[in-house]
Structure 1
């Protein structure tokens, strides 16, 4: 399978890239590194990436910034960090990428535990992760050409065995599931 991995040099990407490359061809993309550059907050950058990278079977996104802080420090500007980058960035990957992805391809987005089980000082992450999960559930009902979409919702990465994380993403791309929120080590 030919997989576009966005955020390949980030915390999750560094775990997934070598593991998935054993059985798949990985094309890496990121803000500052990778085979291709992408700015998730810019739909033109997303479109350019899909125009440059051809014949993609799966698009995995493990990138996206989000503000961490308490309710009293949160304002529209800080909230928009996660909304524009992580939430809208991943939504736009699907909205734009669905035109380019191969038939029967898949999108794997990344949300996180805060969407289901928020903790103090993470309101922005709760909003963004919940939004990603809701998007996956609803988009799975409408994607065409056999394209599937799932989200991986991990707990704190440092608390997850690497193998559990790898298996969750592999399940999303290799199994015929659609509209699933795959929770990892809640």
Structure 2
């Protein structure tokens, strides 16, 4: 199986790429500044060029996208615009352009996050886009052609990320465990689902 992993050099993405390779899959990674191919998911043209370069794939996994983390009264219009344009519409456009590029019965897996269901102070913009992605996937799965499946993985805080932020990593989940949810999304029969990565610990 040929799998395109977008954001494949990030903490979660690298773990996902390693797990898929360990399962015998061919993995092509893509990112803004690293990977086998380059893509800027804020640009629909860049996404279309990526698919043209990658060719036919059996699955697409997106581990890309970010958003603004600030108290609500400090979030600007630009912060919301960035969050919506990058993590939400960036991944929505990966699906829109990818549906015809994925093989029959293949899959596209997006990334939301636990903040969609368990928000925290400062997470308003990110909680918004995470919840939007989950709703989009449920609807898109109903219209995807040729048996293509569309799902979302919702990771918790990742231990390696917490450590890099100077925080206690014990409150997070190791990326290698988070990756199991993505592998299940690719190899399983889920469709229109949000997979809570914490269940794969």
Task: Quickly name the TM-score band, shorter chain normalised.
Answer: over 0.9
- What is the correspondence of 1:50-61 to structure 2 with a 5 Å cutoff? 50-61=51-62
Paired residue for 1:161?
174
The unaligned stretches of length 5 or more in structure 1 are: none
1:35 paired residue number: 36
Shift of 1:162: 3.5
Aligned: 1:15 with 2:31: no
**Where do 5+ consecutive residues of structure 2 fail to align?**
160-171
Secondary structure of the 2:115 match is: helix
Matches within 5 A, 1:1-186: 1-22=1-22, 23-158=24-159, 159-185=172-198
- When normalised by structure 1's length, the TM-score is 0.97
Once structures 1 and 2 are overlaid, which stretch shifts more, 156-165 or 29-38? Answer: 156-165
Which stretch of structure 1 is more off in the superposition, 37-46 or 159-168? 159-168
Residue 42 of structure 2 aligns to a residue in which SS?
Answer: coil
Number of residues paired by the alignment?
186
The structural deviation recorded for 1:16 is 1.4
Cα distance, 1:180 vs. partner?
Answer: 0.8
Shift >6 Å, 4+ stretches:
none
How far is 1:84 from its partner?
0.5
Inter-partner Cα distance in structure 2 for 1:102 and 1:14: 23
Superimposed CA distance per residue, residues 129-179 of structure 1 (whole angstroms, 9 cap, x where no aligned partner): 000000011111111101001100011011113343121111100011101
How far apart in 2 are the matches of 1:82 and 1:12?
19
C-alpha distance in 2, partners of 1:163/1:9? Answer: 14
> Shift of the alpha carbon at 1:99?
1.5
Q: What CA RMSD, in Å, does the superposition of the two structures yield over aligned residues?
A: 1.1
CA distance in 2, matches of 1:162, 1:45: 28
Superposition TM-score, scaled by structure 2 size: 0.90
**CA distance in 1: counterparts of 2:63 and 2:176, whole angstroms:** 16
* Distance in 2 (alpha carbons) for counterparts of 1:99 and 1:144: 8
Contact kept? 2:59, 2:107, Cα under 8 Å = yes
> Matches of 2:55 and 2:114 in 1, distance apart?
33
CA distance in 2, matches of 1:102, 1:119: 39
Corresponding residue SS for 1:129: helix
SS in 1 for 2:150: strand
Give the stretch that moved more between structures: 164-173 or 32-41: 164-173
